[in-house]
């Protein structure tokens, strides 16, 4: 068999795409290697959400050049969002590239590699086919996937929101949902292979069911249906968008026992003028109202978010509104970013007016503020018993296992006769950042499964 080296940058969607490419290539005679030096095919699955991510990738390709010089048969491919956005222009920037393949063409990876081997010519595959439905067909022998206790399942791709700062609508295209039946079948198969927790994945999962389906199903209906599949013990989804959050979805949190007590709901800013400039389509108060509704229907729900500081024109007072909103919601964790202009987005036409040192300072303040919020919540877990789904081994001193609790805190734990896939009760004895640590509680044991 030939060998493929695969490196992934960016979000969970990219991780899922890489897994899919690995599987498709396996059917075409490639096994995965972790040594670039031995590979017949090197694929770098890229991210272009911020400038830093992009720079990293160009420097990486510089380092790959000697391998290509040593082995001219090596195929070097760049996939993912940067491939979609830059397309053919990349051949000018990285002349030793053989393949440029956008996220919409993941299913064609093996075919593309075969074509390059036959013709010896570079190939660029980044056009959109708007008529094509979103489908991830089942492959023979997909047992290769080994899902683990917690498994991601793509349900929707693309984004129609066009937030002013974001490249995703350009790199991932329009929102398209997968047929529900295909999703249920994939979940049944994952459960057969040992998965206990299913995390539904998409840029904007709560827009599910709006476009691209022959038999539309609303997102909350999808959740109720999945909860009925035997063997699914925990259910989550990410990422969602405030404006698409329906009352029915709030009630689903209340009514579906296995829907875990955590929601990732990006807010980006706490200031109405900035939110409007960002074209988010809601005010800070509307976001807070939604959070209040969620908290009243599902007490104890934990919320995490994405935040951008230093958006063009953001003043110190407007930035302060973001810190205030974080405080009001009490996020358990946040992904925090300094604004980075992305070519082709509306915001990139505005002067990037907040100086870098000010952006940096605001980012630091946001990180410190979040650390305080996280610590306050971590304190509340001390001495309590929490349920953990064991996902794997940990190398941290004194704790042999790792997993997550329902509120999506990372958990490190130890105790007798634990194995992957168990749900165990852990008495929390310490914490560090967004990680809780403890031992199996003596009184309680949710049961080896
Ligand atoms: N600059 C900084 N952060 C960004 N994000 C998206 N685009 C940009 C940008 N141009 C952040 C948003 C989004 C997350 C995935 O990345 O917070 O929710
Ligand atoms: Fe980007 Fe906005 Fe779509 Fe999220 S909702 S992917 S930030 S355009």
Q: What is the pLDDT of residues 322-340, one digit of tens each?
A: 999 999 999 999 999 999 9
Question: Ligand 1, closest atom to CA 341?
Answer: 10
CA of 316 to the centre of ligand 1 (A): 20
Question: Ligand 2, closest atom to CA 268?
Answer: 7
What was the pLDDT predicted at 448? 44
Alpha-carbon span 94 to 61, nearest angstrom? 7
Angle (deg, nearest 10), helices 180-192 and 219-227: 30
Of all protein residues, whose CA lies closest to atom 6 belonging to ligand 1? 166
Give 102-119 pLDDT, tens digit per residue.
999 999 999 999 999 999
The answer, yes or no, to whether any atom of ligand 1 lies below 6 A from the CB of 366, is no
What was the pLDDT predicted at 21? 96
Res 443 pLDDT > 70: no
Mean pLDDT, the chain, whole residue set: 94
Structure tokens at 133: 């439905």
Four-point Cα dihedral 228, 234, 239, 240, nearest 10: 50
Alpha-carbon span 426 to 433, nearest angstrom? 18
CA of 178 to the centre of ligand 1 (A): 25
What was the pLDDT predicted at 144? 58
Tokens 């917690």 correspond to 150
Ligand located closest to 264 CA: 1
The answer, yes or no, to whether any atom of ligand 1 lies below 6 A from the CB of 340, is yes
CA of 239 to the centre of ligand 2 (A): 10
Strands 302-309 and 262-264: parallel
**CATH architecture of the domain with range 382-448:** Beta Barrel (2.40)
The phi and psi torsions of 362 (rounded to 5 degrees) equal: -65, -40
What was the pLDDT predicted at 442? 66
Of all protein residues, whose CA lies closest to atom 7 belonging to ligand 1? 166
Mean pLDDT of 217-239: 97
The answer, yes or no, to whether any atom of ligand 1 lies below 6 A from the CB of 264, is no
Tokens 């005679």 correspond to 29
What DSSP string describes 60-120? HHHHHHHHHHH-TT-EEEEEEHHHHHHTTHHHHH-TT--EEE-GGGGGGHHHHHHHHHHH-
Res 425 pLDDT > 60: yes
Mean pLDDT of 252-273: 98
Res 247 pLDDT > 70: yes
What was the pLDDT predicted at 331? 98
Mean pLDDT of 279-293: 98
- Residue from 47, 204, 275 to probe ligand 2 pocket by mutation (most atoms less than 8 Å from CB): 204
Of all protein residues, whose CA lies closest to atom 2 belonging to ligand 2? 163
> What CATH number does domain 144-377 carry, 3.40.50.620, 3.80.30.20, 1.10.150.120, 3.30.530.20?
3.80.30.20
What residues contact residue 46 under an 8 Å CB cut-off, 6+ apart?
A: 9, 10, 14, 53, 54, 57, 78, 79, 80, 81, 82, 83
Q: What percent of the chain has pLDDT over 70?
A: 97
Give 271-285 pLDDT, tens digit per residue.
999 999 999 999 999
Q: Distance between terminal CA atoms of the chain?
A: 37
Alpha-carbon span 374 to 361, nearest angstrom? 20
Question: Do residues 40 and 31 lie in contact, with contact meaning Cβ atoms separated by under 8 Å?
Answer: no
CA of 308 to the centre of ligand 1 (A): 6
- Domain parsing of the chain, residue ranges: 2-125, 144-377, 382-448
2-125 has which CATH code? 3.40.50.12160
């Amino acid at each position: 068999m030939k060998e493929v080296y695969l490196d992934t940058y960016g979000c969970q969607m990219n991780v899922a795409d890489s897994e899919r490419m690995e599987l498709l290539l396996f059917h075409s005679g490639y096994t995965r290697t972790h040594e670039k030096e031995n590979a017949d095919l090197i694929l770098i699955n890229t991210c272009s959400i911020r400038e830093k991510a992009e720079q990293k990738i160009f420097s990486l390709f510089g380092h790959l050049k000697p391998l290509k010089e040593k082995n001219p048969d090596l195929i070097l491919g760049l996939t993912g969002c940067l491939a979609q956005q830059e397309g053919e222009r990349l051949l000018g920037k990285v002349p030793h590239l053989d393949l440029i393949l956008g996220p919409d063409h993941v299913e064609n990876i093996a075919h593309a590699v075969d074509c390059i081997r036959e013709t010896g010519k570079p190939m660029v595959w980044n056009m959109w086919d708007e008529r094509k439905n979103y489908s991830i067909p089942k492959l023979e022998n997909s047992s290769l996937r080994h899902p683990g206790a917690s498994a991601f399942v793509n349900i929707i791709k693309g984004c129609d929101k066009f937030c002013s700062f974001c490249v995703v609508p350009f790199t991932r295209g329009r929102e398209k949902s997968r047929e529900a039946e295909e999703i249920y079948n994939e979940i049944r198969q994952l459960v057969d292979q040992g998965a206990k927790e299913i995390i539904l994945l998409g840029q904007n999962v709560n827009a599910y069911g709006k476009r691209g389906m022959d038999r539309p199903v609303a997102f909350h209906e999808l959740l109720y249906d999945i909860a009925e599949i035997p063997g699914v013990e925990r259910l989550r989804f990410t990422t969602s968008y405030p404006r698409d959050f329906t009352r029915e979805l709030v009630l689903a949190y209340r009514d579906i026992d296995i829907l875990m007590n955590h929601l990732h709901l990006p807010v980006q800013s706490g200031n109405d003028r900035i939110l409007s400039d960002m074209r988010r389509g809601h005010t800070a108060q509307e976001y807070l109202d939604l959070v209040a509704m969620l908290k009243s229907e599902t007490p104890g729900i934990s919320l995490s978010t994405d935040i951008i500081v230093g958006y063009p024109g953001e003043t110190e007072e407007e930035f302060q509104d973001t810190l205030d909103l974080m405080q009001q919601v009490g996020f358990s964790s946040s992904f925090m970013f300094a604004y980075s202009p992305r070519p082709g987005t509306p915001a990139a036409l505005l002067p990037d007016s907040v100086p870098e040192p000010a952006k940096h300072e605001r980012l630091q303040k946001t990180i410190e503020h979040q650390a305080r919020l996280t610590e306050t919540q971590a304190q509340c877990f001390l001495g309590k018993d929490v349920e953990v789904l064991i996902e794997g081994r940990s190398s941290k001193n004194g704790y042999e296992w790792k997993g997550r609790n329902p509120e999506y805190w990372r958990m490190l734990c130890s105790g007798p006769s634990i194995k992957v896939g168990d749900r165990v009760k852990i008495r929390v004895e310490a914490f560090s950042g967004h990680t809780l640590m403890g031992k199996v509680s003596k009184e309680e044991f949710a049961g080896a499964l």
